[in-house]
Structure 1
Amino acid sequence: MNAPDPASNPEAPSQVAVTKPSWREAMAVYLQPRVLVVLFLGFSSGLPLALSGSTLLVWMRESGVDLGTIGLFALVGTPYTLKFIWAPLVDALHVPLFTRTFGRRRGWLVFAQLLLIAAILVLAFADPAKSPLYVAIGALLVATTSATQDIVVDAFRVESLPEQEQAAGMAAYVAAYRIGMLVSTAGALFLVSAYESTGQTRLESWMWGYVTMAAMVLIGTVTALLATEPEQSARAEAATSGESAFRRVTQAAIGAFSEFLGRKDAFAALAFVVLFKFTDAFSGTMTAPFVIDLGFTRNDYAAIVKGVGLAATLIGGFAGGFMARRYSLAASLWIGGLLQAVANLSFSWLAVVGVDQWALALAISAENFTSAIGTVIFVAYLSALCKNPLHTATQYALLTALAAVGRTYLSSGAGYVAKATGWPAFFAICVAVAIPSLLLLAWLQRRGHFAALGPVKV
């Protein structure tokens, strides 16, 4: 199925006709203080995800945990799918001392990051070989505090950036998010190897690797302290200052859900949100164990991810921003959806080739490049769905929680599928699981869903 031609695409009116800025003017936007704040917060959001995900899976595989159990550990991402439940609390309640000192969004942000540091330290003292249950509890704590941070960062980003900075903000956020993930994957693996080279045991090396990652969360904390409270958030806070906490929570919850569910084809849109990144999630769950099983060392994997993977991520993030600006939102989703699905075949090819550094570099580059493109466009779509500052956090949390369903629940059986089919067939299946999302995309486009969103500057 080919991406629609933007010239004949019925969704084309959602593309705003603007005078294209010069290259220098376009790059200058990325140096705006608000965009830089969003960039560093993006890094802070991306950092913890792998610590309860792919990096943890490498640690578990090295400790001798079987593939079936590793696949089930995708379930520790449950807080990412349920975060919309407590998002109204973030929208409506004050954190004692923190809110009064830093403001509505910044107070919650600093509070969540301090909890996140504590959770990562809990996981640092785990031993996967002796106590998988303790590891699961630690990973759940990391995922819960990370999801809470995401709730606040997403609301802060949507509310703080003016329309002319949204494109740069989204590209910077996604690129920094991916860099944060690379630091907690390749960076963490390199750190573990470095600690091992000093004579420490493998368990001690993993512990200090996680302790170092906990310290890096402070980058986001310092950013939050230096930032200013979004004006939209301050106005929303002033408008509800005389209301009780219960009423604010109720209004945030009911308003967010009723407004969204009242839209045309709301449930189809929600299903699309669940499935769009599923192809990425299904393959991503098993990428690290696959590379280790193939015969690459921990450092081989880390070097490729940190070097070539980082470059591919940055290029892909800004390529996604260019596509979303150049084409309509629907056409951009077609391009991103197809690219991220087909990229899985590079791992099928790698499984056939075997231990080859260049083949691994190509596969990792293809995955990072196409995933970054799809993520930027997807974030643009989710941002376009959130309009009201009274419950930005709740609506965005609902959407991103649904997007995490694929990574958490639908992907939990990936390990068993890989065991049953073998690696080449498994990654071919990862391509096939993208088909339902593309069918929904075609149906929503025909129904005028994207045109109904109004002008979208992405």
Structure 2
Amino acid sequence: MVQAKPRLSFRDVLTDGRIALMLPLGFSSGLPFLLVFGTLSTWLREAGISLTIIGMLSWVALAYSLKFLWAPIVDRYDVPGLSQLLGRRRGWMALSQFGVIVGLIGMAMVGPQVSLPLTIAAAVLIAFSSATQDVVIDGWRIDAAPTERQGMMAAALLLGYRLALICAGAGALYIAEFASWPSAYLAMAALMGVGLVGTLLAPRIDEGQARARVPFVQAIIEPLADLFRRKGMMLIPILALIACYRLPDFVAGIMANPLYIDLGFTKADIANVSKLYGVWIGIIGAFGGGFALTRLGLWWTLLIGATLAAGSNLMFTWLSSGNATLMGLTLSISVDNFAQGFAGAALVAYMSGLTSPGFAATQYALLSSLYALPGKLIGGASGAVVDTWGYPLLFTGTAAIGIPLVFLCLMVRRDTMRGEWEKEKASDAADSPVAAGSRA
């Protein structure tokens, strides 16, 4: 007799403490990002730092793209003292959270007006610690729950992450507007206590199992070799598409807040429209991308996302060309954030579909690092472009990146649609009566 696999009930989800714990851990993961990126660029511009330097400081966020390089250390070795007390995962989690807190306090105590080099050093510490925290939280999440609960774990993580973006974006700007920038960063350091509480409440996962001592080089090469075996030379346009897909967003995003400041918008305006309203528009865009995936398929969603994300940068060209009103700001952010959310959903689905079961986690980490890396490298020169030629040329240039993106989407069309067909065929086979009988 075939026994149906038990389904998760709504009550199971509500009563699972591991899912609830992803809220504070997701909050802790999302809080530092804007504090070394968009929010920091606003502080720097207000302090009179040149756009060229602000652009180069975006390279601090490269830590998020390079975290796969030290992830094997986090996964295989203990933190002396902390790991004995909390366990390997929670030990690294607590250490990385303390690193973020120390960096935020240091930035608040110094600031760009006192010492720009020390401010940069604090930003590097925050970014490195935050990227390490992301590695550990993902590792704990995967270890803590079976596969059928990972969807809800990830959903709770995303909700906590988005709430943190509101605090680090709008919240920090409000505090800076009505108090001071040091007060804002000290408040953010205090909010990292939410993550520490989550770490202490998280159950200690059994970490007594022996870990395979795979050489670091082999651990990185094997997943890439698997991709090449499956994709062959098609891997070249695939990787080019991933590397360039979010390039318009990353390059334009660095100069967005300085643009708002230079156009005369107040920090409260930026907080209200960009950091509060805009976050929810981005979430709507992500759901729009998810809906398009179910109705149009992966390739069409990928193509539409590439066109929208690049083309939306023309709104900033329009805004900087005599349309600097609150309504203009709202319209520009509406179009841009919806497009970013839509494109983000499409890219995540595309990268997930490229992984194979044996290397899914490692391949996704490598691909997700690749998609962010070129934008951060090239984005460092965005301030110099604005200083030399102005904002309109920068945003028009980033919109033009959409043209090669469309060609890359056309190049991978057959491979993408074949991959969709193969996954659909495998899913149908798994749901067939014969397959069901074999699992009974």
Question: Is TM-score (shorter-chain normalized) higher than 0.5?
Answer: yes
**1:406 matches 2:379:** no
Pick from 275, 288, 298: which aligns with 2:257? 288
**1:194 matches 2:170:** no
Measured after TM superposition, the shift of residue 58 of structure 1 is 0.9
CA contact (8 A) 1:174 1:372 kept: no
CA distance in 1, matches of 2:372, 2:15: 31
Residues 167 and 305 (structure 1), Cα distance of their counterparts in 2 relative to 1, 3 Å cut: same
Task: Identify the residue that residue 129 of structure 2 maps to in structure 1.
Answer: 145
Per-residue CA deviations over 1:60-106 (Å, capped at 9, x if unaligned) read: 11111111111111122222232221011122222334444544444
**Unaligned residue ranges in structure 2 (runs of 5+):** 1-6, 428-440
Pick from 235, 240, 263: which aligns with 2:210? 240
Task: Identify the residue that residue 335 of structure 2 maps to in structure 1.
Answer: 366
CA contact (8 A) 1:317 1:373 kept: yes
CA contact (8 A) 1:275 1:403 kept: yes
Relative contact order (alpha carbons < 8 A, sep ≥ 6): 1 or 2 greater?
A: 1
CA contact (8 A) 2:248 2:398 kept: yes
Residues 181 and 321 (structure 1), Cα distance of their counterparts in 2 relative to 1, 3 Å cut: same
Measured after TM superposition, the shift of residue 340 of structure 1 is 1.8
What code does the residue aligned with 2:402 have? A
TM-score by length of 1: 0.79
Residues 439 and 225 (structure 1), Cα distance of their counterparts in 2 relative to 1, 3 Å cut: farther
Task: Identify the residue that residue 436 of structure 2 maps to in structure 1.
Answer: none
Mean CA deviation greater in 362-371 or 375-384: 375-384
Structure 2 counterpart SS, 1:352: coil
CA distance in 2, matches of 1:131, 1:453: 57
CA contact (8 A) 2:47 2:113 kept: yes
Per-residue CA deviations over 1:216-250 (Å, capped at 9, x if unaligned) read: 122223233334467xxx6xx66634x5xx54756
What code does the residue aligned with 2:71 have? A
Measured after TM superposition, the shift of residue 357 of structure 1 is 1.0
Task: Identify the residue that residue 78 of structure 1 maps to in structure 2.
Answer: 62
Q: How does 1:255-270 map to 2 (within 5 A)?
A: 255-264=222-231, 265-270=234-239
Task: Identify the residue that residue 431 of structure 1 maps to in structure 2.
Answer: 399
Per-residue CA deviations over 1:178-232 (Å, capped at 9, x if unaligned) read: 442232122111011222xxxxxxxxx21221111112122223233334467xx
Task: Identify the residue that residue 46 of structure 1 maps to in structure 2.
Answer: 30
Bigger helix share: 2
CA distance in 1, matches of 2:217, 2:209: 15
What code does the residue aligned with 1:269 have? I
Pick from 195, 201, 206: which aligns with 1:226? 201
Residues 381 and 358 (structure 1), Cα distance of their counterparts in 2 relative to 1, 3 Å cut: same
Measured after TM superposition, the shift of residue 302 of structure 1 is 1.4
Task: Identify the residue that residue 3 of structure 2 maps to in structure 1.
Answer: none
CA distance in 2, matches of 1:161, 1:441: 36
What code does the residue aligned with 2:30 have? G
Q: How does 1:207-356 map to 2 (within 5 A)?
A: 207-228=182-203, 240-241=210-211, 246-247=213-214, 252-264=219-231, 265-356=234-325
Task: From the CA coordinates, give the structure whose radius of gyration is larger.
Answer: 2
How many positions carry a matched residue from both structures?
416
CA contact (8 A) 1:329 1:450 kept: no
Task: Identify the residue that residue 8 of structure 1 maps to in structure 2.
Answer: none
Per-residue CA deviations over 1:107-166 (Å, capped at 9, x if unaligned) read: 432332222212222222223134222222111111111111122233445565655555
Measured after TM superposition, the shift of residue 33 of structure 1 is 5.0
Measured after TM superposition, the shift of residue 453 of structure 1 is 8.0
Residues 333 and 163 (structure 1), Cα distance of their counterparts in 2 relative to 1, 3 Å cut: farther
What code does the residue aligned with 2:367 have? L
CA distance in 1, matches of 2:411, 2:59: 30
TM-score by length of 2: 0.82
What code does the residue aligned with 2:400 have? A
Task: Identify the residue that residue 16 of structure 1 maps to in structure 2.
Answer: none
Residues 31 and 71 (structure 1), Cα distance of their counterparts in 2 relative to 1, 3 Å cut: farther
Residues 101 and 60 (structure 1), Cα distance of their counterparts in 2 relative to 1, 3 Å cut: same
What code does the residue aligned with 2:190 have? A
Residues 273 and 171 (structure 1), Cα distance of their counterparts in 2 relative to 1, 3 Å cut: farther
**C-alpha RMSD over aligned residues:** 3.3
**Unaligned residue ranges in structure 1 (runs of 5+):** 1-20, 196-204
CA contact (8 A) 1:274 1:403 kept: yes
**1:418 matches 2:386:** yes
Measured after TM superposition, the shift of residue 347 of structure 1 is 1.6
